Amino acid sequence: MSPLIPLAAAVAALGLWLAVRLVREARGRSIARAAYFDAVKPLFTDRQIRIEPTGFPRLAGNRGRLAFDLQAIPDTLAFRKLPALWVLVTLTEPMPLKATVDLMARPSGGEPFSRFPGLPQSLPTPPSLPVHVAIRTDDASQVLPETVILRHADLFLDPAVKELVLSPKGLRIVILAEEADRGRYLIFRDAELGMTPLDRARLSPLLGRLSSIRENILALAKAPT
């Protein structure tokens, strides 16, 4: 018997094992990603969930009388950065605002979830906000009074908070939910994200903060001029 036959059999067996392992890992990844918002489902009523092309879910639901939307957006193409998973928490209620104001921590211009770079006007960063927070708007003559924004400046003390958007269509907070493990990514290019569901305790304060910002804006709109 040719000595090549056992070698070929061993190579074939190894190839089969690798193929089965890859299929199992892909299936496990799909299941984990689809379940990313499972832990926070009890926070909402009238939930609607769909799976996006990324494999992550998008959840729309009500909390009390307010409508919210959750999105998980993986970012694996950023140059010289670790792959990241961003979570967009949006209060999808119309607001009495005439302009969009976007506060972005450490903007790079490559954030896949934001229209920050496209807003035409920059605003100065107030001293009470961290210096790494930049502000842009589509109409500087119609922005909210600075006091309303500064009331929530402490939001950016959390290094995971990336963006706060105040717009006529609603309010949004974006957080960095997860980064790829540096060692595994640099050595193995392993960018696995979303294997652990979003923690309910992480999301709840953001929902409360958006509700609070909404109340502040509505109170300002009702105040006599």
Amino acid (one-letter) located at 23: V
Contact 45, 60 (CB under 8 A): no
In 3D space, the residue among 113, 116, 108 whose CA is nearest the CA of residue 135 turns out to be: 116
Q: What is the pLDDT of residues 118-169, one digit of tens each?
A: 999 999 999 889 999 999 999 999 988 888 888 999 999 999 999 999 999 9
- Widest CA span in the chain: 97
Q: Which two tokens stand for residue 17?
A: 């094992």
Per-residue pLDDT of the chain (225 residues; tens, 9 = 90+): 556 566 555 555 545 444 444 444 445 556 778 999 999 999 999 999 999 999 999 999 999 999 999 999 998 765 557 788 999 999 999 999 999 999 999 998 888 899 999 999 999 999 889 999 999 999 999 988 888 888 999 999 999 999 999 999 999 999 999 986 544 444 334 467 888 999 999 999 999 999 999 999 999 888 775
Q: Which two tokens stand for residue 152?
A: 């929530």
**Rounded Cα gap, residues 72 and 60, in angstroms:** 12
pLDDT of residue 18: 45
Q: Which two tokens stand for residue 75?
A: 């970012």
* φ/ψ bin of 88: left (φ > 0), alpha (ψ from -120 to 50), beta (otherwise): beta
Q: How far is CA 33 from the centre of its chain?
A: 14
pLDDT of residue 98: 94
In the block, which residue shows the tokens 């954030």?
111
